[in-house]
Amino acid sequence: MRAPDQKGELRMTPISDGPKEDHSARIERAVRNYSKLEGMRKAFQTNVESQDANKAKIEGFEERRDRARETRRRALADDSLFAQAISRLRGNGIRVVVADTGEEARRVVLEEIGDEKLVVKSKSNVTKEIGLTPYLESKGIEVIETDAGDRIVQIAKERTVHPTGPALHLTRYDIARILSNHFGRKIEPDPDRLTEAIRNEVSSYISKASVGITGANFISAEEGAVVIVHNEGNITACARRPKKHIIVSAREKIVPNLDEAMNLAKLQILYGTGSLNSSYIDVVSAPSRTADIEKKMFYGMHGPKEVVLVLVDNGRSSIVDKEVMYCINCGSCLLKCPVYDVMGTEFGGHAYQGGRGACYAAELEGIEEGLDGGLTYCTNCGLCTEMCPVKIDTPRLMKEARRKGIEAGLLPTRGQAEMNGNLRAAGNPWGESAEERSRWADGLGIPKKGRVLYFAGCFPSLRSSAVPKAAIEVLRAGGLDVAYLGPEEGCCGSPVLKMGDIETFKELAKGNLKRIKGAGAEKVITGCAGCFNMLSSYRQYLPHSDLKVEHLSKTIADLVRDGKIKLRRSDVSITYHDPCDLGRHQGVYDEPRSVLKAIPGADLREMRFNRERSICCGAGAGVKKTHPELARFIAGRRIDAALDTGAGLLVSACAFCEENFRDAMESSPRRIEVVDLAVLVRDLMEK
């Protein structure tokens, strides 16, 4: 069990493999050792740049992504495909064993190995999932990882940081030290010398082994074939051991046919390595055989006499929400994830990394394992979905996993529970009075009813009151008279929905809809990015919702365009931060920029990652409440990106982002002025 400690953090209590750290200590250590993952970050950046360079070379690229997602959906929704794959594989001479549990799968593999004491193995996440290597080693079998990265990690007793680059966190100097200790002789930190040492050792083991174990990238149901993608050639060598080739895989690898397998492979290669193609794509549909002598079939000519496919279920058949299984293990979701950037392998399950990995761990191993893997770390920013070849909606999966955590009594954390209680009782996260919420509007004479309603939001109202005040001034200057609910305005529900408390969210949403309609509003304008995203999304949860919602940045952009607001000159260099709720979740990118570009003399400088790929500030989805140090550290990284542009002003359209940036700068020597878009426009309006 995991229970909240007195500070509101999830504290790990002992389970079968011993006590685990609380999350505070884990985050503190990750922040302290941040530089240790610099090699990984540089490699990830190289991958991103290679992806971007090669995407344009693939005809119909976005159509391929859509096709791949539909392939995953259709394959996992059609149980007959599973039966067809097994039938065709067996018909081709591959022995198929379906293992219901990880324990059964391990036992089957052990039996298939028989009396052999050495096996060579290639990369496979499913084998990591079921703990195959340590199990076989406990039975006296030597297991040699043949992929260079996996072998390095195996020798160093480290965890892999990426599905296609297990040792990307290690520099060549790290690897030289690891290999020198392993071989008992000095090996220079030269890539040629390092790869030579690994190649020579692995080759010697391959030459002695009679059994090889591999995974599978895809399994074609129509042809009864296993598709394996690789670069080093080691998988071919493992698959051609003379006695037996054991393939360990799972049902989510099954696709309708080789055409779809190749489309998925193309995307997996691009997103996993940044390349257009892989060195090898092996298609295994039968054991090695020949009938060249008297037309009699002989097995084991130049490859194994037997091919055995172990299909691991391990809880998959009971998963209702199949999207968590759409993954093709390219690892692209990790490349710019703001949480993985800090936490590394501490974020995710023991076999699958990142937010989707934590969600998958929650499904396969129980919600406790998901929580231990960092379900509460995720900011719900959605950059993983943007980076995913099959567009897995991890933010939705994360909300669902957290909902299950609440049902199991393991969530919310103490801090989140306090916030939820305040929302139910007072309509805001801090439990402050309704009168205090509307104090920013004192003396402004805003009517409570009208066709256009201004929705201020909790954070701007109670923690950043300059923002709603500026918004009203700007709207009035542009000739717009808006209404405001005042003390009757309640929380939009964004915080509780992202933390998995769907019932509380629905209560808040229903109350808001009733009050907004009661005010006679036909349109809602809000300057809060989180409120805009939630109010715009009400119809997904409340079918009768027909709210017309507009973000203040669009309203201002229209007023500036139409000449109703004129901005005076300001020779200032500006960089703009896209809030996740406004940008990725609702597609508002151009409007804030058009306002900034309309400032005479202003110089807009984009951060390296912007618009669809903007990096999260780190505060969302309860992270700032539960893990404030993580939220601040992520914000600090974004501030660094802003400063790298040379801009003197960091502008956003989310008061929550802006506050987190200011908090991060309290403990940092690096400084930049942070301002809300509405405040900047108010200050630059010609009177």
pLDDT digits (tens, 9 = 90+) for 206-248: 999 999 999 999 999 999 999 999 988 899 999 999 999 999 9
How far apart are alpha carbons 10 and 627 in whole angstroms?
10
How far apart are alpha carbons 359 and 399 in whole angstroms?
10
How far apart are alpha carbons 373 and 350 in whole angstroms?
8
pLDDT at position 293? 63
How far apart are alpha carbons 649 and 572 in whole angstroms?
7
What the block records as the tokens of 93 is: 């001479």
DSSP single-letter state for residue 685: B
pLDDT digits (tens, 9 = 90+) for 622-671: 999 999 999 999 999 999 999 999 999 999 999 999 999 999 999 888 89
Output the pTM of the full model.
0.91
pLDDT digits (tens, 9 = 90+) for 105-164: 999 999 999 999 999 999 999 999 999 999 999 999 999 999 999 999 999 998 888 888
Coil, strand or helix at 414: helix
For CATH 1.10.1060, the residue range(s) in the chain are: 2-41+319-407
pLDDT at position 65? 96
Please tell us whether the domain made up of 2-41+319-407 is placed in CATH 3.30.40: no
Residue 292: pLDDT band by 50, 70, 90 thresholds?
low
In the chain, count H helices and then E strands: 30, 21
Instruction: State the first-to-last Cα distance of the chain, in angstroms, to the nearest integer.
Output: 61
Amino acid type, 639:
I
Average pLDDT over residues 521-544: 94
CB-count burial class (<10 Å; 0-12, 13-18, 19+) for 173: exposed
DSSP single-letter state for residue 345: G
Q: What share of the chain is helix, strand, coil (3-state, %, to 5)?
A: 50, 15, 35
What the block records as the tokens of 233 is: 């050639």
